Amino acid sequence: MKQQISLSVLDQSIACAGQGQDEAIRQTLRMAEWCERLGYRRFWVSEHHNHPSIVGSAPEILVAAIAARTRSIRVGTAGVMLPHYSPYKVAEQFRVLEALAPGRIDLGLGRAPGSDQLTAYALNPDAATRADRFPEQVRDLMQWVSGGEMPEGHPFSRVRATPGGPGQPEIWMLGSSDFGARLAGHFGLPYSFAHFITDGRGCESVLELYRRSFRPGLRLAEPHAGLCVWALAADTEAEARHLFRTRERWRIERDRGNLTAMLPPEAAVNTDLTPAEEAALERLRATALVGTGAQVAARIRELAARTGAAEIAILTWTFDAQARRRSYELLAREFGLLARAA
């Protein structure tokens, strides 16, 4: 019997060469509608700033637009980079979102800047010290989102986040290191490991640390772990490998310090690589979840079984939006999402 896995999507509003960055935002909206029809559980959007490749800079606005265009899929952030902001303002934003789409809003939190150092300072002049206050920010945000009481002596104990209502956003902690895992466990939050950032390195040890650190919270009695993986499926393995050239070239350019828009696979042939870059690409190809729908689904199932992840969020980059849609469709079929959505 095939393992039942909860599947979701992470969309990063990727910029493609020859297209306006504004089109990437509109593609995200269309992809959310498509993934809802396919039966995915969640559709998450990321936060990056001053980034030529990933142009989703205001996830809270994207979440509102997606929630207005969908009816059943959960919608959220992966994530809000909390050190840039006031926890109180973020709580207000997501209380409003919860009022607009009751029971469908996720608030994923991250500590990384999602930008370079100069941009971090443009977002918040106190950027040098705010990351150190992240645990305190998370604590305050949780209280404002839930309507709970602040610690005794808290300077904002009389401040409430509105609008009130019977529900509240589901808060997730996101990360790829020990810090976020420990914090998620401490606060009793669900945790999603960014497998796509580390190419899987450290995944099992970080999830084990999360489970050991977990203390029951207001919403979770037991740890709830997820993974966000980069995956690409196509009708044939050869086609999938062809489409993957876009990602390969982007990784090479990133490692050279060049962040660029996505190239079409025909223009992304790697003919000017050093021996070290060739070796890096071979490692990437060996670990990447790329192939037919059945091949990628089998790799995802194996990964979920090995790590004990309850949910898998899938991130897919292709130059052509239709190829991305097809990838999500093939995986939805392999996991029986279409039958459950019908």
Q: How many helices (H) and strands (E) does the chain have?
A: 15, 9
Q: How many residues does the chain have?
A: 342
Give pLDDT, residue 1: 44
Q: What is the mean pLDDT of each run of 10 residues along the chain (342 residues)?
A: 80 97 98 98 97 96 98 97 96 98 98 89 88 94 93 92 95 96 98 96 97 94 97 98 96 94 92 92 94 98 96 98 98 88 57
The residue among 288, 242, 292, 239 whose CA lies nearest residue 267 is 242
Amino acid at residue number 219: R
Torsion of CA 89, 94, 97, 99, to 10 degrees: -100
Give pLDDT, residue 7: 98
Helix (H), strand (E) at residue 59? helix 59-69
Give pLDDT, residue 197: 95
- Domains assigned to the chain: 6-233+291-341 (3.20.20.30)
| Contact call for residues 164 and 147 (beta carbons, < 8 A) | yes
How far apart are the C-alpha atoms of 281 and 297, rounded to whole Å? 22
For CA atoms 209, 212, 215, 217, give the dihedral sign.
positive
Cis peptide before 79 (omega within 30 of 0): yes
**Would you tell me how many other CB atoms lie within 10 Å of the CB of residue 9?**
27
